[in-house]
Every structure is written in structure tokens, then in C-alpha cells.
A and B are shown apart, each in its own frame.
Chain A
């Protein structure tokens, strides 16, 4: 807080630093976490909140690598890759999670490949949505979960 007051008083090239610290300039990171999408309790609302639409085209050019049976629902390794051209983002959802939206990756020049580990509450489809050429494509894969991973 003290630093901000100091910068306000100097008014030098601190103008940019001031703007950044007060959130006026769009920083590299996402400005505000998409609470609406992440809190959505069904897949359609989660997609609407995160992508702006619940309409996607099924694509066989999206590959979901995930175990057929996850022993531990708290740690399910998932790798999404796609041969679609110029993929701008990859979004991952777990259909039957209390809040299905798990993550969204904006690829600014990165390849259509993300690998991470997710929590799944119960047996469900893992849905991967890739944005390419202004359209959304999706694929799904069922992952059986023996021990749920959301703490409930």
C-alpha cells in the first residue's frame, strides 16, 4: 500500500507501473478468474461461461489420453493433444464433477498439447474442447473412478 502511494506521488514513468498495480493495464495474467464458469454445476453452463457457447463439433482429431480406470480420483493423469490446425485453446471438463469445468489453456503459439492431473468425483466422461478456426471441437473419453477425488 505504501508503495502505491509513493508511486502516485512521483508520477514519473511510474505511470505505467501505477496503472499495472491498480489493474488498469491488462496484465499478462487473466484479469479476473472466471468464477461463473468454474462454479457452474453442469457442463452446458460451464461451457457457456468459459467458451461463450455450448455448441461444439465432435472431432476425431482430438486425442484424450487418460486411464480407462483411475485408481485414485484425486490424481487422474490427463493428456490432451490435437491435430486440428491452429488450436487457440484447450478446455477440459469432467462431466460428472460437482463443478465440471476443470481448466482452460490459452495457447499463444504453444502446440495443441497439454498434460496435467485432475480430480474426478466419480466415473465420468472427460471432455476436451479445442478452439480452432473460430469453432469449437470436442472429444470425450470415459474414465472409471474407483475412489472419488473431490474430498467428499
Chain B
């Protein structure tokens, strides 16, 4: 299986699913300069993150450059063990990645 940029943990407790995700991404602000060349490193960041719970959207996020590098994200919704959670991100260069996981 190809390595994903997304790591997800989804756990259900008392009817509430808590999702904790870690995404590998530079989240480059576009404000940094390359020390060697002196040129500005262009902005490269995740613009949108979407989460589906059992196929239906449960959370959509719009991000800017100020979300930290290798973003951490956690949120909650009503659900149960065995449910599926799918996380998808899309960045300003058109790249994207997606991961589906089962709720424990």
C-alpha cells in the first residue's frame, strides 16, 4: 500500500467519535527566503480539508498559511465503533491526498 501523508486515529466513546489526524505537509507561508539563493520560497499549503463520516460530510475546513507545518487536527461528532471516517486534503498546488479509516 502506498504511504499516505495522513495518519488518522478515530475512537468512539459514549457515542462520540474523536478524530485525531496528523498530515505531513510543508505548509509553506510564502514569506520565507531560501538562505542560499535569497529567493522567496513560494507558498505551498493545504487550502481545504474535508471529512466524511459513513460517506456523508461531517466537517469541512478552509485553511490558510498560518496552520502549522505537518498539521494536527482533531474534531468530534456523534458516531460509533465500526463507522468509517474519510479525510481528504487539497493544497494550493492542486495536490491532494485522502485516507479512510475505521472508527475503533
Contacts and interface: CB of A to CB of B under 8 A. Distances in A.
Interface in B59-103: 59-69, 71-78, 88, 90, 92
B8 to A, nearest CB: 14
A76 B68 contact: yes
A109 interface: yes
Interface residues of A, number: 38
Interface in A29-88: 29-30, 33-34, 38, 74-77, 79
Contacts of B73: 114-116
Contacts of B61: 103-106, 114
B42 interface: no
Given A106-B61, A116-B71, A152-B31, A97 B66 contact: yes
A51 B58 CA distance: 20
B58 A104 contact: no
A30 B63 CA distance: 11
A107 B57 CA distance: 9
B59 A110 contact: yes
Interface in A10-38: 28-30, 33-34, 38
Interface of A: 28-30, 33-34, 38, 74-77, 79, 94, 97-99, 101-111, 113-120, 149-152
Given A76-B68, A106-B59, 4 more contacts: A104-B62, A108-B59, A109-B77, A151-B32
Interface of B: 16, 29, 31-32, 47-48, 50-53, 56-69, 71-78, 88, 90, 92
